Amino acid sequence: AYKERDKTRSVNFVTEYQQHFLNGQAIPGIQYEYQFYLENINKITLEQLNAMAARFISDQNRSIVVEAPDNEKDKLPTEAILLGWIAEAGKNITPYVDNVSTKPLIEKIPEAGNITNETLDEKTGVTTLTFENGVTALLKPTNFKNDQILITGYGFGGTSLASDADFTAASLATSVVGNSGLGEFNQIQLQKMLTGKNVNISPYISEYTQGFSGNAAPADLGTALQLIYLYFTEPRKDNDIWQSNMSQTRAALINRNLDPARVFQDTVAAVLSKYNFRSMVPTVARLNTATVDKTFDFYKSSFADAGSFTFTLVGSFDVQSIKPLLQTYLGSLPAGNTKKSFKDLAINPPTGQVTKIVNKGIDAKSSVQLVFSGDYDYNELNNIQMDALEEVLNIKLIERLREQESGVYAPGVRARYSKIPSGRYSFTVAFGCAPENVDKLVAATLDEIGKLKLKGAALTDIQKFKAEETRSRQVQLRENYFWMGYIAGGAQNQEDPHRVFNYDTNIAAVTVASTKDAANKYLSGSNLIKLVLMPEKK
């Protein structure tokens, strides 16, 4: 906060002023707070901390809460048994011994790779570096934040390349490896090594890509790149982490079907994927087919070849100054000649009209989702027309379902569109209501959609959309997160890097006629899935 003191957002000041007015909380300002911290932090002793812990954590101010499903309430322990467990656990506790490694994160610095090509896009300010191992780096320096560099990296493949037999193990890969430490260091040692550093890097494996996301302060960029290097070259297999992860997941799965909302969402996922197990919550039996070796092997195979990876950095840096770091830790990554891609699994919603009713729970409340879907021509003009359709329908449904029908509090409309693995869209209307109002409100929703298809959106609603989009874009253009998504997403989808400059033209193309065309194209109803959660029948 101190390093960003000249770029503090207004909302932060508003929050402080509110707390001062409501609770009398002091607001001396970040300059004073930072100086106070520097002057006093080293005055705190270990004895003071231990005394505070003893004062606040004792057996005299303790509340014990035990939660369990209704069907196991007869098996709950008594108060005496609980206290006995606690007393037993407190016996023979040895003093904590700090496990800190004095070794460096990387003992042998890798040999830097050469840059084979460097270009600057003067319109976007993005520098593209290509390394001899095939890795690409897209770099956009900004002055939006003083102490922030955002980092992402991706390569194609993901769990789409896992066999059906190994999919469950593959889906667990990054949740396990990402919490197991790196190289010689377990997770606790690694966290201690990173204490005092402003850095966060996490690996991920999604359905069609694998990569990294994170951030770092400029002073800690080298550490962030070292972590990426180690996640490629020295991932760690920790059996204790594996067992803990599996135990927690099993426990969550066993009781999952007791929650009506989760049962409904699991049903939604199943129906929309035509019951493809890859899109469904695993059963305990399927979870048990995964092993730590299968999971670790899939992770290693996903990151064995960095040659087709693209990294994006956005934030407070100078391109020339960070090039040596990039050459050392990205340019040296292992790479072969394989150009890995993804496998199109064709997991799409069913065609035609489908209705699925889920009866679960006893509360008198229902949830409704109407899902329109189909093939989609992914491009910037279609995307903004889809965004406009989402907003104008949302406006109308709030007016109709909440204000006119008084049937729901907050109807939601969500448009999604993608290019990978193939051009597809889904358009979802969701709301909660009383069970007796489901049919009436579904009919009202379809009526509003019918009006859009017949006449297009009201001009006033289009103007609201354009005004909000324009305001939002003005703010986004000064934010690192916008540029990160824009650059990395554009590279992944092979989009025009200058499309941001077409914004005014594209938003001007949103008209009454265009919303009518979009509604007829995307909300025709030829592919419509209606999913409803109702209480159990008595």
pLDDT tens, position by position, 167-195:
999 999 999 999 999 999 999 999 999 99
pLDDT at position 3 is: 87
DSSP 314-342: EES--HHHHHHHHHHHTTTS---S-----
| Per-residue pLDDT tens over the stretch 43-86 | 999 999 989 988 888 877 888 898 887 778 888 999 899 989 98
Task: Give the model's confidence band at 426: pLDDT under 50 very low, under 70 low, under 90 confident, else very high.
Answer: very high
Averaged pLDDT of the chain: 94
Q: What is the pLDDT of residue 336?
A: 84
Q: What is the pLDDT of residue 433?
A: 94
Pairwise CA distance, residues 448 & 442, whole Å: 10
Which of these ranges, 82-86, 153-157, 246-250, has the smallest mean pLDDT? 82-86
pLDDT at 216: 98
Query: Which burial class, exposed, middle or buried, applies to 310 when counting CB atoms under 10 A from its CB (0-12, 13-18, 19+)?
Result: buried
Q: How far is CA 518 from CA 396, 429, 511, in A?
A: 16, 16, 10
C-alpha span between 216 and 224 (Å, rounded):
6
Query: What percent of the chain has pLDDT above 90?
Result: 83
DSSP 37-51: HHHHGGG--HHHHHH
For the cut 80, the answer to whether the pLDDT of residue 338 exceeds it is no
Nearest to 205 by CA among 237, 161, 244, 239: 161
- Write down the pLDDT at residue 456: 98
Which residues is 356 bridged to in the sheet?
531
Question: What domains can be seen in the chain, in order of their start residue?
Answer: 5-89 (no CATH), 115-329 (3.30.830.10), 353-534 (3.30.830.10)
Q: What's the pLDDT at 254?
A: 87
pLDDT band at 42 (very low <50, low <70, confident <90, very high): very high
Both tokens assigned to 356: 């699925």
Per-residue pLDDT of 433-492, as tens digits, reads: 999 999 999 999 999 999 999 999 999 999 999 999 999 999 999 999 999 999 999 999
Residues 6 or more apart whose CB falls under 8 angstroms from that of 525 comprise 353, 372, 446, 449
Average pLDDT of the residues in 146-162: 97
What the block records as the tokens of 281 is 């919550």
In sequence order, the 6+-apart residues with CB closer than 8 A to the CB of 344 are 160, 421, 422
Gap between the Cα atoms of 56 and 16, Å rounded: 28
What H or E segment, with its residue span, contains residue 149? strand 149-156
Instruction: Look at residue 408 in the predicted model and tell me its pLDDT.
Output: 84
More confident residue, 3 or 332: 332
Cα(375)–Cα(32) distance, rounded to whole angstroms?
A: 57
| 2 three-state secondary structure | coil
- DSSP code, position 120: E
With vertex at residue 520, the alpha carbon angle to CA 518 and CA 525, rounded to the nearest 5 degrees, is 125
Per-residue confidence at 239, pLDDT binned at 50, 70, 90? very high
- Percent of the chain exceeding pLDDT 70 equals 100
Predicted confidence at residue 5, as pLDDT, reads: 85
- Region 218-229 average pLDDT: 98
Secondary structure of 412-426 in the HEC alphabet? EEEEEEECCCCCEEE
What secondary structure, in 3-state letters, does 19-32 show?
HHHHHCCCCCCHHH
Above 80 in pLDDT, residue 156?
Answer: yes
Angle CA(399)–CA(405)–CA(407) in degrees, nearest 5? 105
What's the pLDDT at 68? Answer: 80
For the ranges 64-73, 163-172, 215-224, 409-418, which has the lowest average pLDDT? 64-73
d(CA 310, CA 487) in angstroms, rounded, equals 11
Q: Give tens-digit pLDDT for 82-135.
A: 989 988 888 888 888 887 778 899 999 999 999 999 999 999 999 999 999 999
